[in-house]
Each structure stands twice: as C-alpha cells, then as structure tokens.
Structure 1
C-alpha cells in the first residue's frame, strides 16, 4: 500500500436534526447536519435512500439539481422538497474552507 497524504482530519461537534414530512404524493425522512465544514452548507441526508447533498437556500432554486441529487423522477416532487427546505434551511454566509 502506498503512502497517503492526509488532506484534513477535523473533529467537530455538530447539530443534527431529523425531520419527516409528507406531501400529497410522497413521504420524506431527512437528516440535516449543521456544520462549519463544507463552506457552511448543511449536509442533507435522505434516510430512506442514503443519498445526500450539501444544500443552502440558493441551491433550492435549482430543481434539476435536487432531482439529480436525490434521484427524484417527478419535477413536482422535487419542487415540493425545495419548498419545504426553503423554510427550514438557515441562510448562512459563505465561509472560506481553506485558509
């Protein structure tokens, strides 16, 4: 096995929120991990599929990105998801990652 150059190894106490909700068509269960890592974007994990994405309020305007990230086939379902997270995700100013 070759040598590894460790790029980072951070330990951080983070706030985690679990939220479940339904729309007319679908049930969702998500874990939201609030961290100072990842440029301040919360890590959103779908507890049903294990798929995850870093999201901030600006990302919620891109329905196609949500569809791709969480493998959602219907545009309406992705729009419902965006609408839910628009009221739930904090507006966090950009934080430089590598200083």
Structure 2
C-alpha cells in the first residue's frame, strides 16, 4: 500500500451562517463559511446546486464570476451578488 502524501492537513475554527432566501425567480439556500483561510474571503456553498466559490468583495466586482460559479442567469446572479455584498464587505 502506498503511503499518502499530504500537502496540508489543518483544522481551523470557522463560523458558518446558514441562510435561505427567495429571489424573484430563484431560491437560495446557502452556507457561508468564515475562517482565517482564503485571505479573508468567504467560502459560499449553494446547497441546492452543490456549487461553491471562495468569494471576497473583489470577486463580486468581477464580471460574470457569480454567473459562472453558480450557473445563474444575470438576474438571479445580481440578487445573489446583492446579498453577498452585505456580508463580505
């Protein structure tokens, strides 16, 4: 049996916020994880779609980032982006 080579194996304290809200056309069920990792950015999991992204304020300003990360149309992405601005800024 081959010995496993770990690149890292850390345990960190996190704060997790579970939030669900209804947009105009789309329901969002999110887990927002905050920790010392990822340079102050948040790990945002969309529980329904099984998609996630590491998000900071700079990512929200990146055109098409939210649309691509969560496979959303522009309108739904803007609703999610608006919510995320409230918590990552």
Preserved contact between residue 19 and residue 31 of structure 1 (Cα < 8 Å): yes
Preserved contact between residue 63 and residue 78 of structure 1 (Cα < 8 Å): no
Give the structure with the larger strand fraction.
Answer: 2
Shift of 1:63: 4.1
TM, length-normalised to structure 1: 0.81
Counterparts of 2:56 and 2:84 in 1: how far apart (Å)? Answer: 9
TM, length-normalised to structure 2: 0.89
Aligned to 1:79: 78
What are the superposed Cα offsets for residues 14-40 of structure 1, whole Å, 9 maximum, x if unpaired?
A: 110001111211110100010111222
**What stretches of structure 2 of length at least 5 have no aligned partner?**
none
Q: How many residues align?
A: 89
Q: Secondary structure of 1:52's match?
A: strand
Q: Secondary structure of 2:68's match?
A: helix
Moved more, 23-32 or 3-12: 3-12
**What stretches of structure 1 of length at least 5 have no aligned partner?**
92-99
